[in-house]
């Protein structure tokens, strides 16, 4: 009886802590420039500086080679994110960039497990899990990406698929804080965003999986988010922000950021 009361109290404390952590968090709107930017993209934002509303964290995930340029072209209101990281800490791994290197050079967020890494570069849940652990050992914040292919969605197995992918990517990680981006593969770069109901179902599932594992953080949506649908998508209560590919490369990005803000009139 005493044991079950103390277990209950510990669970209550954890639930309150995680609710407090989440409540204190701003919305998150990240741009993913993939391998699509050039110096012209930087110059565009130099001429049209991005504004981050007080209630939105904004980042841009740039290719590593632009690391030195980022601070020249962006103010401190836009955080620098990496698109990937090595699963190794250090050593003879030609072409790789470690989490420690990224953190030394001022990166604040790191995408991990983007579907293009998983599909085009055959990254496994196991390597993504290692990368996530590497980032969590630094002061940078991981954004774990997960998403189902069209076949899992059309056969209605998407929730099982995503639950397995989430569990494998976060294996042995508990009591940690990071953000999760739900990005259905069929919605990325297709101009066909998931619907409000589809997003709600998955984000609520992710929130409950995270809290069961004592994980806290924001749960955001990505996949053809544009200036024209961001207003509607930002009404989704459980959606803490967006991860944006094409829409982050030019003038639409500011509109998407503003849509993610409660403070800005829509
Ligand atoms: P998209 O890409 O906005 O161009 O669909 C999203 C992403 O891959 O993060």
User: Among all residues, which ones are annotated catalytic?
Assistant: 114, 183
pLDDT per residue as tens digits for the range 76-96:
999 999 999 999 999 999 999
Residues 238, 45: Cα–Cα separation, whole Å: 30
Residue 260: the pLDDT is: 87
Q: Is 188 in the pocket of ligand 1 (CB under 6 A)?
A: yes
Ligand 1: does its nearest atom lie under 6 Å from the Cβ of 32?
yes
Which of 246, 250, 252, 259 gets mutated to test ligand 1 (max ligand atoms within 8 A of its CB)?
246
Separation between Cα atoms, residue 176 and residue 140, nearest integer Å: 12
For ligand 1, atom 6, the nearest C-alpha belongs to 245
pLDDT at 262 (0 to 100):
78
**Averaged pLDDT, groups of 10, the chain, 266 residues long:** 60 56 78 98 97 97 96 96 98 98 98 98 98 98 98 98 98 97 98 97 98 97 97 96 98 96 64
Residue 147 in contact with residue 185, Cβ under 8 Å? yes
Supply the pLDDT for residue 18.
Answer: 52
Ligand 1 pocket, 115 CB below 6 A?
A: no
State residue 6's pLDDT score. Answer: 64
187: CB partners within 8 A, 6+ apart: 147, 193, 194, 222, 223, 224
Q: Whose CA is nearest to atom 3 of ligand 1?
A: 245
Q: Which atom of ligand 1 is nearest to the CA of 224?
A: 5
What is the C-alpha separation between 53 and 20, in angstroms, rounded? 22
- Span 101-131, pLDDT tens digits: 999 999 999 999 999 999 999 999 999 999 9
Tell me if 220 CB under 6 Å of ligand 1: no
- For ligand 1, whether the C-beta of 184 sits within 6 Å is no
In order of 11, 38, 63, 97, 188, the CA distances from 147 in angstroms are 29, 28, 22, 25, 10
Phi, psi of 58 (to 5 degrees): -120, 135
Contact 56, 261 (CB under 8 A): yes
111 Cβ below 6 A of ligand 1: no
- Give the ligand 1 atom nearest the CA of 116: 8
Closest ligand 1 atom, residue 111 Cα? 9
């Amino acid at each position: 009886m005493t044991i079950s009361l103390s277990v209950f109290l510990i669970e209550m404390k954890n639930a309150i802590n995680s609710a407090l952590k989440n409540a204190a968090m701003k919305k998150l709107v990240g741009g993913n420039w993939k391998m699509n930017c050039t110096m012209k993209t930087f110059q565009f934002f130099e001429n049209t500086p991005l504004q981050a509303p007080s209630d939105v964290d904004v980042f841009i995930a740039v290719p590593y080679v632009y690391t030195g340029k980022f601070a020249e072209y962006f103010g401190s209101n836009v955080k620098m994110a990496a698109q990937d990281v090595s699963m190794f800490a250090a050593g003879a791994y030609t072409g790789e960039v470690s989490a420690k290197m990224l953190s030394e050079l001022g990166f604040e967020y790191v995408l991990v497990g983007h579907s293009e890494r998983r599909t085009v570069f055959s990254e496994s849940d196991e390597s993504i899990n290692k990368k996530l652990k590497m980032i969590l050992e630094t002061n940078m914040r991981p954004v774990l990406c997960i998403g189902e292919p069209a076949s899992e969605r059309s056969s209605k197995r998407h929730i099982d698929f995503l639950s397995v992918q989430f569990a494998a990517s976060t294996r042995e990680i508990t009591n940690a804080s990071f953000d999760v981006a739900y990005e259905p593969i069929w919605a990325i770069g297709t101009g066909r965003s998931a619907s409000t109901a589809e997003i709600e179902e998955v984000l609520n599932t992710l929130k409950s999986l995270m809290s069961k594992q004592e994980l806290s953080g924001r749960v955001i949506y990505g996949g053809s988010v544009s200036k024209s649908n961001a207003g509607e998508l930002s009404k989704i209560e459980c959606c803490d922000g967006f991860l944006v590919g094409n829409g982050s490369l030019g003038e639409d990005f500011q509109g998407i950021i503003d849509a993610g803000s409660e403070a800005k009139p829509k």
